[in-house]
Structure 1
Amino acid sequence: MTGLDIEITPQARDWVARQGGVMMIRASTRNGCCGGSTSVPVADLGEPEDLAGYVSEMKEGIRVYVAEDLRVEHPLKVRLERFLGFRRLFVDGVELASGTQRKRGE
């Protein structure tokens, strides 16, 4: 696969490079307080334990693995968030997908 439309901010790129130069983007399910669920995109350092179901390519000197089941319909932007000395990657640009699929008009 080539041509993933992913932007990695300079701060995120530098931090990932210092941590080994590999990251993955995958969906993570979040449950609501009153039922229901949604899938949100997350970025983690390192490569997946099982490479099946992921595609990868180099972006800005970083090896990026993206889960094949993650709907990527818009450009993604990976940025670094900092809080009290903690750092984590954050993904912008992926639409949330409901855990329950409904047809239009329902």
Structure 2
Amino acid sequence: MAIEISDRAREWLRKHGGVAMVRLSPRHGCCGGRADIAVAEARTPDAPEYFTRLERDDVVLYIDPTLVDQGLTLDVEGFRGLRHLFVDGASLSR
């Protein structure tokens, strides 16, 4: 399976439109180098044709194709109105 979705994340996504995008976000080191970290956002990507679309349990996920076989987990952290999605399980160094 391309990505696991926790019950908390599934419930949170259903309350926030039922769509999530999982993409790579570059992080640059102070002395050079770069790591691409997987991040999640509760929205449809601007260019969905560049993502792999998955539908599961009334939730639509758009996943960066480079992350499809990375063994990711989508979850929620925080409390009350400060909860947000996060992705566990992948980073790619360059």
Tell me whether the two structures share a fold, i.e. TM-score over 0.5. Answer: yes
Give the RMSD, CA atoms, in angstroms. Answer: 1.7
Gaps of 5+ in 2: none
Tell me the distance in 1 between the aligned counterparts of 2:18 and 2:12. 8
- Whether contact under 8 Å (1:6, 1:59) holds in the other structure is no
* Per-residue CA distance 1:17-43 (angstroms, 9 max, x = gap): 100000011000001122211100001
Are 2:74 and 1:78 aligned?
Answer: yes
What are the equivalent positions in structure 2 for 1:1-106 lying under 5 Å apart? 4-68=1-65, 70-82=66-78, 85-94=81-90, 96-99=91-94
Bigger relative contact order, structure 1 or 2 (CA pairs below 8 A, ≥6 apart)? 2
Identity of aligned residues (%): 36
Higher helix share: 2
- Per-residue deviation at 1:75? 2.0
- Per-residue deviation at 1:60? 2.5
- Per-residue deviation at 1:45? 0.5
Gaps of 5+ in 1: 100-106
Tell me the distance in 2 between the aligned counterparts of 1:15 and 1:97. 27
Tell me the distance in 2 between the aligned counterparts of 1:42 and 1:50. 17
- Per-residue deviation at 1:5? 2.6
